[in-house]
Amino acid sequence: MSSPFKSVPVRSSEITPKEIYLSRRDFIKAAGVVAGSMALAACAPDLAETTPESLAVDTGPAKTDELGDSANTFEEITNYNNYYEFSTNKEAVAPLAKGFTTAPWTVEVGGLVNKPKTFGMEDLLSMFTQEERIYRLRCVEAWSMVIPWNGFTLASLLKMVEPTSAAKYVRFETVYRPEEMKGQGSPFYPWPYQEGLRLDEAMNDLTLLATGIYGETMLAQNGAPIRLVVPWKYGFKSIKSIVKIELVAEKPNTLWNTTAANEYGFYANVNPAVDHPRWSQASERRIGEISRRATLPFNGYGEQVASLYEGMDLSLQF
Ligand SMILES: Nc1nc2c(c(=O)[nH]1)N[C@H]1C(S)=C(S)[C@@H](COP(=O)(O)O)O[C@H]1N2
Ligand SMILES: [Mo]
């Protein structure tokens, strides 16, 4: 019926700022200057006034994932986003999300657990070890990035609330705040955004609750203050701005599965052998690269997660 993940033409007024600072970044690279606010101020004082906040972030030495792929830049990660609550236009999300209220914030964890608890963001940041995880993110639309997240494992949170033996799935819910998120006025989607995982997927050590990127507090466009990251699944599983986590007995509904069940499955494991009904999933465009690269089964994380799906027909798990 509706057309999920439609590509919206980008107006030049939206492209311009990005073009400016991307080319500035190239200039900085070419000049062999370490990206940092001091260096920028010294090299390009005339442009300093228009410098987006993000450029002041010192991303430190180059980061790579375990396959040797370079992390995308902070600018790329924070200016090309899927977040339908704000916009269906990836370049428009960052400006629209500016000023979104992320504090105070609580995450209610309950359902089939012995010790339900509502956590304040401060608790989540202090009670759980925050680590860096450099993961590939593969969108179902066939673009990808490498993102250095900061966060903690979902498993550590779930262990604290003690799921009962009846709990088989985990359901996640994004904040519902249509005053601040104009996209939630769209009648085409069943708001609030919901997602779900099987309990063993949720307990896998790769599954992260992310609170930061490049060591900086998460920005609104990336799902501040806390979002899920499931790196072996298509990006839409990695739900943003979570306010509720519920342990349940039945497979939960998800926004995308409800919207177009034939296009977006519950499992949504990255699988180059199973095409989306409207496009190939065999290859992808890594943001910042010119030629396409092959998509890897389970997005390259098969060693850690393939055993979760033993006996399942993966050709059906689009
Ligand atoms: N609440 C919510 N979560 C969401 C989305 C969304 O529209 N709303 N988009 C998803 C999709 S399709 C992708 S690819 C990733 C993008 O994450 P990023 O913008 O941080 O790269 O977020 C996912 N989580
Ligand atoms: Mo996506």
| pLDDT tens digits, 11-60 | 333 333 333 334 434 433 433 333 333 333 333 334 434 445 545 677 88
| Residue with the larger pLDDT of the pair 112 and 29 | 112
Q: Which of 72, 83, 216, 285 to mutate to test the pocket of ligand 1 (most atoms within 8 A of CB)?
A: 83
User: What's 167's domain CATH number?
Assistant: 3.90.420.10
Residue nearest to atom 16 of ligand 1 (CA): 82
> How far apart are the CA of 145 and the centre of ligand 1, in A?
13
Calculate the CA dihedral of residues 257, 260, 263, 266 and round it to 10 degrees. 10
pLDDT mean across residues, the chain: 87
Q: Which of 164, 191, 195 is nearest to 86 (CA)?
A: 191
R_g of the chain, CA atoms, integer Å: 20
The reply to whether 207 falls in a domain is: yes
Q: Which of 35, 31, 66 is nearest to 52 (CA)?
A: 35
User: In this structure, what token pair is assigned to residue 69?
Assistant: 């792929």
The 3-state secondary structure of 274-313 reads CCECCECCCEEEECCCCCCEECCHHHHCHHHHHHHHCCCC
Q: 34: which residues sit within 8 A by CB, 6+ positions away?
A: none
pLDDT of 8 strictly over 70: no
pLDDT of 158 strictly over 60: yes
Strands (E), the chain: 106-111, 117-120, 131-138, 143-153, 169-174, 194-198, 208-213, 216-217, 227-229, 242-248, 283-286, 293-294
> What are the helix (H) ranges across 118-254?
121-127, 154-161, 199-203
| Residue with the larger pLDDT of the pair 9 and 196 | 196
Which ligand 1 atom is at minimum distance from the Cα of 83? Answer: 7
The reply to whether 6 falls in a domain is: no
What backbone torsions phi and psi does residue 166 show, to the nearest 5 degrees? -80, -15
- Per-residue pLDDT, averaged over 174-186, amounts to 98
> How far apart are the CA of 266 and the centre of ligand 2, in A?
14
The reply to whether 1 falls in a domain is: no
The reply to whether 5 falls in a domain is: no
The reply to whether 7 falls in a domain is: no
Q: How many domains would you assign to the chain?
A: 1
pLDDT of 160 strictly over 90: yes
d(CA 122, CA 135) in angstroms, rounded, equals 25
pLDDT at 55: 55
Residue 298 backbone class (left: φ over 0; alpha: ψ -120 to 50; beta: rest): left
Containing structural domain, residue 139? 12-316
The reply to whether 143 falls in a domain is: yes
* Burial (0-12, 13-18, 19+ Cβ within 10 Å), 111: buried
The reply to whether 3 falls in a domain is: no
Read off the pLDDT of residues 63-87 as tens digits, 9 standing for 90 and up.
999 999 999 999 999 999 999 999 9
The reply to whether 60 falls in a domain is: yes
> How far apart are the CA of 249 and the centre of ligand 1, in A?
25
> How far apart are the CA of 135 and the centre of ligand 1, in A?
15
- Counting ligands in written order, which one lies closest to the CA of residue 212? 1
pLDDT at 33: 37
pTM reported for the whole predicted model: 0.85
